[in-house]
Amino acid sequence: MYEKFSNILKRNTGILIRFDDVAPNMNWTMMEKCEVLLNKFNIKPVLGVIPNNQDNELMNYPIKNDFWNIIKKWQTKNWSIAMHGYTHLYDADTFKKDYFGYGGRSEFFGHSYEEQILKIKKGLKLFRDNNIEITTFFAPNHTYDLNTFKALKECGIFQVIDGYGLSTFTFNEIKFVPQLFYNLYMLPYGIQSTQIHLNSWTENDFQVFEKFIEKNHKKVINLDYALSINSNTFMKMLNILIKQTLKTIRKIH
Ligand SMILES: [Zn+2]
């Protein structure tokens, strides 16, 4: 009985390395350092690519004109490519009414279903023009409403890296890989994802990441593994507990 339970825990433990804000304009020097580190440990991250970046903050970084070739090269190395919004421009406020209750501004929340599906379709076309099929999405600033999920499904996307929990879970026909912490943090068990914003990283941030990878590389999983997990009843119970606790904490703050 004990053996069985420990096997379940082991199978349900791992961290997915998710990079946010991958776009033609980015901190390429830092990205190259990360690539060397990931190669050293044979880690396959998931990259959140913004297909049509219009975010001025990101525009300040140097541009690579062969961006899509670089993405394709990463994909052939079995790095996973996900769609991270369409333009990364926030034009609506959620007033904490977004699906996960994070609050803050959003590219998708509050827009009509028609507007949201148009954004997703335009984004997918850019990927397709560059021979990249997208099956996974995560929204800028973690902000969704029910129309976002409806539009994603209509476009054939049934996988999202966001949400509360200690294991991959399915809701509304969509598989969610939970993303809990802003900082790098390895839970003793559970399936997790990082959110890495390397564009604003200093050398010190990189060193923290390097130490994290050196310490935890055996627990790093790829996207396919994270999606292959089906949370059992035990994990579902924990997911509900975590969701309620975090929602309460975020309401207090
Ligand atoms: Zn972002």
In this predicted structure, the answer to whether residue 253 has a pLDDT above a threshold of 70 is no
CA–centroid distance, 6 to ligand 1, in Å, is 36
Taking the centre of ligand 1 as the mean of its atom positions, its distance from the CA of residue 232, in whole angstroms, is: 31
Ligand 1 centre and the CA of 57: distance in Å?
11
Cα-Cα-Cα-Cα dihedral of 87, 93, 97, 102, to 10°?
Answer: 70
- The predicted pLDDT at position 182 comes to 87
> CA-CA distance, 246 to 135, in Å (whole number)?
28
pLDDT bin (cut points 50, 70, 90) of residue 158 is: very high
For position 114, what pLDDT does the model report? 98
Of 12-26, 48-62, 85-99, 238-252, which range is least confident?
238-252
pLDDT for 236 equals 65
Distance (Å, whole) CA 125 – CA 105: 25
> How does pLDDT run across 190-223, given as a tens digit for each residue?
899 999 999 999 999 999 999 999 999 999 999 9
**Residue 2 CB: number of other CB atoms within 10 A?**
6
Measured in angstroms, how far is the CA atom of residue 188 from the centroid of ligand 1?
27
**pLDDT score recorded for residue 231:** 72
Ligand 1 centroid distance, CA of 23 (Å): 10
| The token pair that represents 139 in the structure block | 């929204």
Alpha helices in the chain, H assignment, sequence order: 2-11, 28-40, 56-59, 67-76, 113-129, 146-154, 203-216, 223-228, 233-252
Query: 84 CA to middle of ligand 1, Å?
Result: 7
* Region of poorest pLDDT, from 30-34, 81-85, 242-246: 242-246
Task: Give the mean pLDDT of 163-188.
Answer: 91
Backbone angles phi, psi at 226, to 5 degrees: -60, -40
Q: Separation of 21 CA from ligand 1 center, angstroms?
A: 5
User: What is the CA(58)–ligand 1 centre distance, in A?
Assistant: 10
Tell me, what's the pLDDT at 196?
A: 97
**2-54 pLDDT tens trace:** 557 677 778 889 999 999 999 999 999 999 999 999 999 999 999 999 999 99
pLDDT at 1 over 70: no
Task: Give Cα 152 to chain centroid, integer Å.
Answer: 15
pLDDT of residue 245: 79
Smallest Cα–Cα separation from 149: which of 176, 186, 183?
176
How far is 7 from 9, CA to CA, in rounded Å? 5
pLDDT at 11: 83
Decide: helix, strand or coil at residue 46. strand
Q: Percent of the chain scored above 70 by pLDDT?
A: 94
| Beta-carbon-side half-sphere exposure of residue 20 (alpha carbons within 13 Å) | 20
Question: pLDDT at position 12, please?
Answer: 85
How confident is the model at residue 235, as a pLDDT? 67
Which two three-digit tokens encode residue 179?
Answer: 């993303």
For the CA atoms of 204, 207, 211, 212, the dihedral, rounded to the nearest 10 degrees, stands at 70
Fill in the amino acid letter for 23.
Answer: A
pLDDT per residue as tens digits for the range 132-156: 999 999 999 999 999 999 999 999 9
Q: Which of 107-111, 198-202, 240-244 has the lowest mean pLDDT?
A: 240-244
**What is the whole-number distance in angstroms between the Cα of residue 140 and the centre of ligand 1?**
4
Q: Residue 67 — φ and ψ, nearest 5°? A: -50, -50
62: which DSSP letter? Answer: P
Distance from Cα 88 to the centre of ligand 1, integer Å: 6
